[in-house]
Amino acid sequence: MCLIAIAYQVHPDYPLIVAANRDEFYNRPTAPLDFWSDHPDILAGRDLQGHGTWLGVNRAGRIAAVTNYREPQFKSIENRSRGFLVSEFLAGNDSPDAYLEQVTARKDDYGGFNLIVGDTGGLWWYSNRGDALVKLPRGIHAISNRALNTPWPKVERTRERLSKLIGHSRIDPESVFAMLYDRSRPPDELLPDTGVGLDWERLLSPPFVTSAIYGTRSSSVVLFQQTGTLEFLERTFEPVAGELAVKETRRFQLQFAMAPTPSAIRNDD
């Protein structure tokens, strides 16, 4: 996952809105959004190479997502895929902060990452390229391949556009997908310098990434409504004649017995 935008406790009818793009090499095998046969309570896409996931929820109202931390100068050897950080949380019962405390003890087993985890008590962020566990405050947040809310152009643009979207009483998933499909590139003077070279900085600068071998493989929209309904939509893309075309859109809906509270998501136990 290379872009995650979160509107948390800012819309009266949607306590949590998550919009995300997963960027990856086109030849990396991937399963689309679905419930997992080995963990039937987990709803997520799946990386068939590492066997973890980049974004998922479960039937108890837990949610987690991960992005890589871009640092080409740092050649790490991963013992495990960063996608396991998401699936382990979704399959477990530990509170978000307790789980992240465990992650800090084995942070060097992974390449650089940003990890978002949440349950009924709130949302938390942690990066193994920092020291603090951060409980997200009310507001609009975004993460790409640096720390939370690092003001890269794609991060700032997506936060601004999400802020405008939540001004509407009803959140239309297609409007969120349109936000995620933004291919506009900022001028060179606004690009970060992360060590990948100017050509790659340009290529990776839009919210929606395209190239000959690497790009946005899927866009995801997660809507938690005050009524207790969770909607999870995933739109996948595939390269066709040098462009990325829509492959399919999957939509799942979960209903919780109790509605989300303003501070988080109720579970259905």
What pLDDT score was predicted for residue 72? 79
Q: What is the CATH number of the domain that holds 73?
A: 3.60.60.10
Mutual orientation of helices 153-165 and 173-180 as an angle, nearest 10°?
A: 160
Helix (H, G, I), strand (E, B) or coil at 256: coil
Total structural domains within the chain: 1
- Domain membership of residue 260 (yes or no) is no
- Taking the chain (269 residues) in runs of 10, the rounded mean pLDDT of each run is 94 96 96 97 96 96 96 69 96 96 94 92 93 94 97 98 94 97 97 95 97 96 94 96 92 75 38
Q: Crossing angle for the helix pair 96-105 and 83-91, nearest 10 degrees?
A: 140
Across-strand partners of 140? Answer: 7
- Whether 264 is covered by a domain: the verdict is no
pTM score, whole prediction: 0.93
Domain with 199, as residue range(s), is 3-255
In a domain, 111, yes or no: yes
Q: In this structure, is residue 105 part of a structural domain?
A: yes
The answer to whether residue 51 is domain-embedded is yes
Q: Which helix (H) or strand (E) holds 161?
A: helix 153-165
CB 267 within 8 A of CB 60: yes
**Is 269 domain-assigned?**
no
Residue 91 lies in a domain: yes
pLDDT of the residue at 131: 77
pLDDT of amino acid 75: 62
Integer-rounded Cα Rg, in Å, for the chain is 17
* Structural domain includes residue 268: no
Q: Longest C-alpha distance within the chain, in Å? A: 52
